[in-house]
């Protein structure tokens, strides 16, 4: 009798969670992310962190009607920003685990991430288009979309707020960190990067799917189309994901300007030292070389080991301290276009700094504006 009651209570809880999903009105007027920041900046939005949440695993007991509820990742849910290939392999079929291939490459690499996804990806993974799920009103590459656009795109991928999201890329840890940060910016803390990405998955001997299903291709296309519709004020389908913008995780150009004088945050640039010093040309045309006055350079590769997995906390701490960063003070990170800055944020998260903002426009914006100060070596 007691087992039956427990089973019914669990089913009831699942039902309540399902009916509690919030459906947004996708016909709200959408403005650019930059315009929205001004209004969000004066709001004190709460964090959505839920430290007691874990994925639910259900295993049969001696009684067919009874279930034991255990947490698969409760111990690492809000302490670690990454999960191992072994963990993902063991939990890949859990219904609340959604896997995203967020591969993206520099333009000069001439690689097509969506084509590569269709050739080989982790079983069941969906493709997250870094360039497509972005602010369509900005001339800068892959800037953050609006709340409405992100919610519409993620909903098109079939993701709910209750889901745990695992993000990976084709390099190890590269663009996946950007998407990890994007989910957190929009209030979803149940997100992790696959440590070592697809290379580590394959090196561990785990299978990949060599062709994408029609459903997966349709979802990737639907996510891009949903963003387009939102920015054109068109009706989109019902949303399964509610986005809640967290302004403290994003910086804009004016905040970086102000910080040069105020020095409230230590500014770390993730680009290579030659680019930081202004010795090497920027990969994009029309961008000045150099760095923001007062910033320091820690190339993103210093966060990773030779297998492109995230370094242990102790080693990460040494890297930051050797670069003159005081971990007792606030930090803001930037890079070329807001991608590898997120790898610095990933490393800082592992050592306990979980509220690091990213300068979204990064050097592509700063170096292309005529009135921004630039320092060279």
> Does the annotation count 335 as an active-site position?
yes
Strands (E), the chain: 56-60, 67-71, 82-83, 97-101, 126-127, 164-168, 191-194, 250-251, 266-269, 296-297, 331-334, 358-359
Q: Give the number of other Cβ atoms within 10 Å of residue 308's Cβ.
A: 18
Calculate helix-pair angle for 175-185, 341-350, nearest 10 degrees: 70
Nearest in space to 92 (alpha carbons), one of 183, 17, 204 = 204
Sheet holding 296-297, edge to edge: 250-251, 358-359, 331-334, 266-269, 296-297
The residues facing 375 across adjacent strands are 291
Q: Which of 42, 297, 335, 342 is catalytic?
A: 335
| Owner of token pair 């098109």 | 156
Enumerate the β-bridge partners of residue 59.
68
Asked if residues 127 and 154 have their Cβ atoms less than 8 Å apart, the reply is no
Residue-wise DSSP of 49-71? --TT---EEEEE-SSTT-EEEEE
Active site residues: 335
């Amino acid at each position: 009798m007691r087992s039956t009651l427990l089973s019914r209570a669990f089913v009831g809880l699942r039902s309540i969670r399902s009916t509690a999903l919030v459906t947004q009105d996708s016909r709200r007027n959408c403005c650019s992310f930059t315009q929205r920041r001004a209004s969000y900046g004066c709001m004190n939005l709460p964090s959505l962190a839920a430290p007691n949440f874990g994925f639910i695993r259900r295993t049969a007991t001696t009684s067919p009607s009874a279930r034991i509820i255990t947490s698969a990742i409760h111990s690492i849910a809000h302490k670690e920003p990454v999960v191992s290939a072994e963990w993902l392999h063991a939990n890949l079929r859990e219904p609340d685990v959604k896997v995203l291939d967020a591969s993206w490459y520099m333009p000069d690499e001439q690689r097509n991430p969506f084509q590569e996804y269709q050739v080989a990806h982790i079983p069941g993974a969906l493709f997250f288009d870094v360039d497509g799920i972005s602010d369509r009103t900005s001339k800068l590459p892959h800037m953050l979309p609006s709340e409405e656009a992100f919610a519409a795109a993620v909903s098109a991928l079939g993701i709910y707020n209750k889901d745990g999201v695992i993000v990976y890329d084709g390099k190890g840890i590269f663009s996946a960190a950007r998407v990890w940060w994007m989910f957190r910016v929009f209030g979803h803390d149940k997100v992790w990067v696959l440590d070592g990405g697809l290379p580590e998955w394959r090196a561990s001997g785990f299978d990949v799917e060599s062709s994408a299903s029609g459903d997966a291709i349709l979802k990737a296309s639907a996510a891009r189309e949903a963003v387009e519709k939102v920015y054109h004020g068109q009706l989109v389908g019902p949303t399964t994901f509610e986005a809640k913008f967290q302004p403290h995780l994003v910086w804009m150009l004016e905040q970086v300007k102000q910080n040069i004088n105020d020095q409230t945050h230590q500014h770390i640039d993730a680009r290579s030292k030659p680019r930081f010093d202004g010795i090497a040309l920027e990969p994009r045309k029309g961008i000045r070389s150099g760095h923001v006055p007062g910033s320091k350079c820690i190339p993103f590769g210093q966060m990773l080991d030779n297998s492109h997995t995230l370094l242990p906390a102790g080693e990460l701490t040494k890297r930051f301290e050797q670069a003159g960063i005081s971990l007792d003070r606030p930090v803001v990170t930037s890079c070329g276009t807001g991608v590898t800055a997120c790898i610095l944020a990933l490393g800082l998260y592992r050592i306990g700094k979980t509220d690091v903002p990213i300068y979204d426009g990064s050097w592509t914006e700063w170096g292309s504006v005529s009135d921004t100060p630039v320092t060279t070596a």
